[in-house]
Structure 1
Amino acid sequence: MPDQPFTRVLAWLREPEVSTDLLQIGKSVIAATAAWWLSGYVLDSQMPFLAPWTALLTVHATVHRSFSRGIQTTVASTIGVGISFLIGNFLGVSLWTFALALLVGLAGARLSWIRDEGVAIATTSIFILGSGFSSQQPLLGERIGELALGVAIGLAVNLIVIPPLRDQQAARYVDSINRRMGDVLCSMGREFRESWDTDQSDSWLQETLSMSEELNSAWASVRFARESRRVNPRDYLRARRSASHGSSGSSSAKVGYEDILERVDEGVSHLRNLTRTLSEASYGEGKWDDRFRVEWADIVTDAGKSVADPDADVAPIHDRLNELSSRLVQGELPSQTWPLYGALITSVRHIAVIVDDVASDREAREGEKRSRQK
C-alpha cells in the first residue's frame, strides 16, 4: 500500500523514546532562541551568546534535572565570570593569563557539588576572555544577569512545554521482559514434550542472559521515570484530575516499578537455573518418566502463557505442581531421578509465584494507566 511508509514513520514518531527526544530538541531550540533574542535585542547585551548558551545547558530531559543542573550551571558560570573578571582586570588578557584562567576553571570543575556542570567555569572563561575582554570591559553584574536569564528561560521552557513523563518506557520494558520469559517457557514446554538438544538449551541460556541486559536498561528507564515525575507540573495536574474524579490514587501508590523489576529479575534468575538444569540433563542417559514428562511440559507451557499474558486462561500453576509432586511420590521412580525431577519442579514453583505477582502487578499498572487517562 502507498501509505505504508508514512504509517511506519508515524508509528516511529509515536514511539515514547523518539517523541521525547524530538520534543527535547524542540525545547532546546526554543529556549536558546528566546534567550538570544531577549539578550541581544531587548537587553542589548554586548555578549548575547551567554544567555542562550546557559539556556541550552539548562534544558535537560527532566524538570528535576533541569533544576539541579541549572543551579550548578549558574554557580559554575558565575565562578567563570568572576575568574575572567579578576584575571582580565588585574593581569590583562594574554596567552599565559588565558591559560591561567583555563587552569583555574578546570581545577574548579572537579568540585563535587558542581561536578556535572563544572566545566562551565572554564568555558565561560573562554567565552569572556576570548571575545575581546579588554575592549568591552564587561561588567560583572551584567554578565551574571545574562547567565541567570539563560537559566531562567531554560527552566521556564522545560516546565511549560510538555515536561516529559517516562512511565510508558518503564512499562514497555517490563512487558517486553515478561513476554520474553513467557516465550522461553513455552518453548521449553514444547521441546520437553518431545525432545531437546544441547543447542536448544544453549539458546535458552543466551536468551536469559539477554534478558538480564535488558533489565539493566529497564532499571535505568524506571529510575528516569521516577525522576521525570519530580517537580513536574503534569504529574501534579494529573493527581488533581484524579482527585476531582473521586480517585484516591491508592493504585498509583501500590504500583512500584522497582518492586516489579526485582520480581522479574528473580524470575529471570530462576529461569536461567532451570535452563542450566535442562542443559545438564540433555547430556544424561536414561528414559524420562512419561507421566512427569507430559505433565511438567504442560505446566511449563501454561506458566509461560501466564507470564507473557496474565489474562491467559490457564489452571493454577502452583496447585498443579503440588499434584504432580504428590503423584510422583506415590509412584515408583528410581531414586537417582528424584534430584533432577525435584530441581525442575522447584524451579518452576519459584517461577509460578512470580507468575502470580506479574499478574497482580499488570492489573495494578493497568488501573493506574486508566486513572491517569481520565
Structure 2
Amino acid sequence: MHPNQNSSRSSEAELASGEEEQPSIGAKILHRLRQPETTSDMLLAIKGVIAGTAAWALSVFVLESDVAFMAPWTALLTVHATVHRSLSRGVQTVVSSAVGMGLAFVILQFFDVNIWSFALALLVGLVGARLSWIRDEGVAIATTAIFILTSSEPMFADRILELLVGVGVGIAVNMLIIPPLQNQQASRYVDSINRRIGAVLVEMADEFSESWTTDSADEWLKDTESMSKELNSAWQTVRFARESERKNPRKLLLRRGKKMHEDVSYEEILTRVDEGISHLRNLTRTLREAAYTSGGWDERFRTGWVSVARDTGLAVADPDESVEPLYDRLRKLTSDMSEAENLPNIEWPTYGALIASLRHIIIIVDDVASAREARQTD
C-alpha cells in the first residue's frame, strides 16, 4: 500500500475512539486520589500537621514558652519525604538555626536593631546559606535571625531548647508514622511502560498483517518517545525509592518477617526496559522505511512474523506470560525463510532487521518477566 494512502480501518478506529465513553469527573478524581504519589503527598502533609502541632504543644504546655514559634517551625522544616532527608536536613536545620541565633546575638550585643543592622544580619545569613554542607536548609540562618531580632525577649537558651524539640519531634514523627517506601510507585512505572510496549507491538502486528502507512509508524515513534520520557520519571522514582529505604524502620521490620525476599533490582530492570524501547524504535523505523520499498512482502514471512510479534506484545503486557515458545517460533521462522527457494529475490536486509529487533525484545521480555515482583499484576 502506498504510504500516502489512508486505510479504511484507521478511519473506523478513529471514529470508534471518538465514540468511547469518557470517564466522569468523579471517576477521574477517585483515580487521582488512589495514585501512590497523591497518597504520599497527603501523608506528608498530615505528618507535618502532627509534627508542628506536637512541637507547639510541648513548647506551650511543657516548656511554658511565651513565644512558641521555634519548635513548630523547625518541626515543619524537618518533616521530609524520606527518613534519610529528615535526619540529614534536621541536622542542617539545627546548625543553621544555631548560627542564626549566634548572628542575632552579635547584632544585639554590638549594634542597635535598626535598618542597617537588620540588613546586615540578612546579608550575612543569606551568604552563609550558600555553604555547601548546609545549603538545603541554610536559609534558616537568616530566618532565625529575623525571629530573634523581631522578638521582644530573645531568650536564647529557650530558643535553642525549642529548636532541639522541634527537630526531634519532626524526625520522630517521620520515623514512626508510616515512613515511606516508594517501591509501589516504581513498580507502577515499570508495569505501565511494559504494557505500553506490548500495546504498540500488538497494534503494529495488526497493522502489518494487512497494510500500514507512514502515519502509523510516525505515531509509534511518538509513542516510543513518550515511553522514554516516562522511563526518565521511573528512574527518578527508583532513586527516590532507594533513598526512602535508607534508615527506614519499616524496611528493618519487613526483613524480620517470615518470608525473606531479595530486593528487586529496579535499576537493572529499567536498563533492560530502556533497551526494549530502543529496539521497538528501531523496529518502527524499519517498518517506516519499508513502506517506501517497491514490491510485495513474502506472505510466509508476513504471516509468521505478525503472529510472533502479536504474541510478544501480549507477553510484554502480561508479567505471567511465558516467552520461551516465542523465541523458538521466531527461530523457526528464520530457518524456514533461509531455506526458501527464492531467497535472492527476498528483501532480506529488511526481513533480517525485523527479526533481529523482535528477537531482542523477546529476550528483554524474558529478563523483565523473571522479576515479577517489580510489576503491578493486579
TM-score, with normalisation over the residues of structure 1?
A: 0.89
Which position in structure 2 is the counterpart of 1:75? 95
Q: 1:29 aligns with which of 49, 69, 92?
A: 49
Give the match's secondary structure for 1:47. Answer: coil
Which position in structure 2 is the counterpart of 1:43? 63
Which position in structure 1 is the counterpart of 2:199? 183
> How far is the alpha carbon of 1:45 from its aligned partner?
2.2
Q: 1:199 aligns with which of 215, 218, 221?
A: 215
- CA distance in structure 2 between the partners assigned to 1:342 and 1:158 by the alignment: 56
Aligned partners of 2:308 and 2:326 also within 8 Å: yes
Q: 2:83 aligns with which of 63, 74, 79?
A: 63
Give the match's secondary structure for 1:196. Answer: coil
- Indicate yes or no: 2:146 matched with 1:130: no
Q: Which amino acid aligns with 2:188?
A: R
- Indicate yes or no: 2:270 matched with 1:261: yes
- CA distance in structure 1 between the partners assigned to 2:104 and 2:286 by the alignment: 67
Give the match's secondary structure for 2:246. Answer: coil
> How far is the alpha carbon of 1:233 from its aligned partner?
1.3
Which position in structure 2 is the counterpart of 1:225? 241
Aligned partners of 2:266 and 2:374 also within 8 Å: no
Task: Say how many residue pairs are matched.
Answer: 354
- CA distance in structure 1 between the partners assigned to 2:158 and 2:322 by the alignment: 69
Which position in structure 2 is the counterpart of 1:372? none
1:89-108 Cα deviation digits (max 9, x unpaired): 21121101111111111111
> How far is the alpha carbon of 1:122 from its aligned partner?
1.1
Q: 2:138 aligns with which of 111, 114, 118?
A: 118
Give the match's secondary structure for 1:252. Answer: coil
Over 3 Å counting, the alpha-carbon distance change for 1:277 and 1:7 in structure 2 is closer
1:319-349 Cα deviation digits (max 9, x unpaired): 2222111111111233671111111111111
Q: 1:153 aligns with which of 161, 164, 169?
A: 169
- Indicate yes or no: 2:152 matched with 1:143: no
- CA distance in structure 2 between the partners assigned to 1:162 and 1:312 by the alignment: 34
> How far is the alpha carbon of 1:152 from its aligned partner?
0.3
> How far is the alpha carbon of 1:284 from its aligned partner?
2.0
Give the match's secondary structure for 2:321. Answer: coil
Higher mean displacement: 32-41 or 50-59: 32-41
Give the match's secondary structure for 1:162. Answer: coil
Over 3 Å counting, the alpha-carbon distance change for 1:110 and 1:237 in structure 2 is same
Q: 1:324 aligns with which of 315, 333, 343?
A: 333
Paired residues for 1:92-103 under 5 Å: 92-103=112-123
Alignment gaps of 5+ in structure 2:
1-23
- CA distance in structure 2 between the partners assigned to 1:194 and 1:236 by the alignment: 56
Q: 1:358 aligns with which of 331, 356, 368?
A: 368
Give the match's secondary structure for 2:151. Answer: coil
- CA distance in structure 1 between the partners assigned to 2:90 and 2:124 by the alignment: 21
- CA distance in structure 2 between the partners assigned to 1:315 and 1:252 by the alignment: 24
Q: Which amino acid aligns with 1:189?
A: A
> How far is the alpha carbon of 1:13 from its aligned partner?
3.5
Give the match's secondary structure for 2:347. Answer: helix
Q: 1:308 aligns with which of 317, 320, 323?
A: 317
> How far is the alpha carbon of 1:46 from its aligned partner?
4.0
What percentage of residue pairs aligned between the two structures are identical? 60
Alignment gaps of 5+ in structure 1:
370-374
Q: Which amino acid aligns with 2:214?
A: T
Q: Which amino acid aligns with 1:77?
A: S
CA-atom RMSD in angstroms: 2.1
Q: Which amino acid aligns with 2:361?
A: I
> How far is the alpha carbon of 1:314 from its aligned partner?
6.3
Over 3 Å counting, the alpha-carbon distance change for 1:128 and 1:231 in structure 2 is same
TM-score, with normalisation over the residues of structure 2?
A: 0.88
- CA distance in structure 1 between the partners assigned to 2:267 and 2:353 by the alignment: 29
Over 3 Å counting, the alpha-carbon distance change for 1:72 and 1:293 in structure 2 is same
- CA distance in structure 2 between the partners assigned to 1:263 and 1:105 by the alignment: 47
> How far is the alpha carbon of 1:12 from its aligned partner?
4.4
- Indicate yes or no: 2:286 matched with 1:277: yes
Over 3 Å counting, the alpha-carbon distance change for 1:338 and 1:10 in structure 2 is closer
> How far is the alpha carbon of 1:206 from its aligned partner?
0.3
- Indicate yes or no: 2:259 matched with 1:239: no
- CA distance in structure 2 between the partners assigned to 1:11 and 1:252 by the alignment: 31
> How far is the alpha carbon of 1:191 from its aligned partner?
0.6
- CA distance in structure 2 between the partners assigned to 1:284 and 1:80 by the alignment: 73
Q: Which amino acid aligns with 1:345?
A: I
- CA distance in structure 2 between the partners assigned to 1:163 and 1:6 by the alignment: 30
1:193-250 Cα deviation digits (max 9, x unpaired): 1111011100100000000010111111111111112111111111112xxx2x3x2x
- CA distance in structure 2 between the partners assigned to 1:126 and 1:336 by the alignment: 80
Which position in structure 2 is the counterpart of 1:213? 229
- CA distance in structure 1 between the partners assigned to 2:27 and 2:306 by the alignment: 41
- CA distance in structure 2 between the partners assigned to 1:6 and 1:213 by the alignment: 28
Give the match's secondary structure for 1:334. Answer: helix
> How far is the alpha carbon of 1:315 from its aligned partner?
6.1
Q: Which one has the bigger helix percentage?
A: 1
